[in-house]
Amino acid sequence: MPTYIRWGALSDTGSLRVQNEDSMLAQEGLFVVADGMGGHNAGEVASAMAIKILRSAQTKGIADAKDLNSAIKEVNEQIFNAATNTVEQRGMGTTLTALAITPTNKSKSENDSKSITVANIGDSRTYLLRGGEFRQVSVDHSYVQDLVSEGLITREEARTHARRNIVTRALGIEPTVGVDTWTLPLIVGDRYLLCSDGLVDEVSDIDIETCLKLNSDPQQTAIYLVAMANRNGGRDNITVIVVDVMADDKAKSSEDSDSTKPLSIKYKPARKLIISGILAVVATLAIVFTTIYARSGYFVAFENETPDARVLIYRGKNLLWLEPLIAADSTLKKTDLNLGLAQEILAKPPFESATDAQSYVNQIREVVETAMTPIVTTTTVAILNSTTSSTKP
């Protein structure tokens, strides 16, 4: 049975940046997200070069992971040479994640067995939703990923770490680079997500998973994911590609056409699109308002139940799939507090704003510091006085 691919894609500047240094490629058989870096248009140049070179490689055919690896290494070589020879582009580079339906060589028969090949450089990511299970296929080349791999921080802590934007591998920075690749079976029902870090820095994995599960149309799903990232801050460029693997019979039942070709995009008729769009909007609005409510308010609590647990300021509530986020670390520990203060923190006192929560923590800190300040006793003062002057009472 022929396999069909549907996809949706969107790239956005974000809420704070003035230009989009991300580039993407979404065409028959090859999907790429490139997140440029370097500033002064150099990042934009690097990511655009990556897309141009890979588009050319795809027209010649990508038979397997080796071909994709070679094409990406050519990208690295050309970007590195351009950066070396052009002063304005010195130091430019790009992260990249790619998904190829292999083999794509047009000389191959349409009945040849196909697979998915994923490649990654840097912290742009590829995820897979298969059989209800959501996981990250690619592995970030970043400073915080190294900390996560060593067990020093959690994935959630990595999202807000001060050095989360430091990548340890990128295209164009060194004359040679290692490319990570994975080959997976092409399975009907799979949904892949390729994205730049502008999405994952703003939207948690659980929220991304929920959005992918609630929305069937890949283009609408891409739109909603970008909107969620912008709503949560949109501090970086955001690029999203959603790729669905479909069987011939499922494609025909969901599309009003019998003339579609394998590995090509399908379009629903207007009526179906409108209905699915309305349902998707309702579902997304429900997610958005639930998220807004769950992220409202602050409270102070211990990070865990251990004796040396830290006192943290949390934002939000435990609601459905959402958990409170750590807003600030007071640096105080349970062992610093007297029994009365510890009981107060165990009650998780709520606050309307971060300022109120921080004020409360500052008051606790003053009490702790006062208790720890050495006190000069009356006896000691008397002894000091007697040694310095015999005439003072």
DSSP 254: H
Q: Which residues have a Cβ under 8 Å from the Cβ of 79 and sit 6 or more positions away?
A: 46, 49, 50, 92, 93, 94, 171, 172
Is 345 within the bounds of a domain?
yes
**Same-domain pairing of 232 and 351:** no
Q: What is the pLDDT of residue 316?
A: 86
> Is the whole-model pTM more than 0.75?
no
Got the DSSP string for 332-353?
A: EEGGGS-HHHHHHHHT--EESS
Instruction: List, for residues 316-326, the tens digit of each pLDDT value.
Output: 877 766 778 88
Same domain, 215 and 313: no
Residues 282 and 334 in one domain: no
Instruction: Report yes or no on 16 lying in a domain.
Output: yes
Residue ranges for the chain with pLDDT beneath 70: 1, 39-41, 104-112, 249-277, 280-281, 283-284, 286, 288-289, 291, 294, 320-321, 373-393
Same domain, 314 and 186: no
Which residues share a beta bridge with 62?
none
How far is C-alpha 294 from the chain's CA centre?
20
Q: What are phi and psi of 152, to 5 degrees?
A: -85, -30
CA distances from 14 to 137, 183, 222 (A): 25, 32, 14
Tell me the residue range of the domain where 302 lies.
298-372
Neighbours of 392 (CB within 10 A): 8
Q: Determine, yes or no, domain membership for 320.
A: yes
pLDDT of residue 321: 64
Q: What is the pLDDT of residue 91?
A: 86
Looking at the fold, whether 121 and 199 belong to one and the same domain comes out as: yes
342 and 265 in a single domain? The answer is no
Same domain as 248, residue 180: yes
Number of structural domains in the chain: 2
Answer whether 20's CB lies under 8 Å from 11's CB. Answer: yes
Peptide bond into 103 cis (omega under 30): yes
Cα–Cα dist 65/305, whole Å: 47
Q: What is the pLDDT of residues 201-213, one digit of tens each?
A: 999 999 999 999 9
Supply the DSSP symbol for 252.
Answer: H
Q: Check residue 270 and give its pLDDT.
A: 42
- Domain's final residue, options 293, 309, 326: 293
Q: What is the 3-state secondary structure (H, E, C) of 3-36?
A: EEEEEEEEEECCCCCCCCCEEEEEECCEEEEEEE
- Spatial CA neighbour of 372 closest among 332, 328, 342, 312: 332
Q: What is the side-by-side strand order in the sheet with 298-302?
A: 325-333, 310-315, 298-302, 350-351
The residues with which 32 forms a beta bridge, in sequence order, are: 25, 98
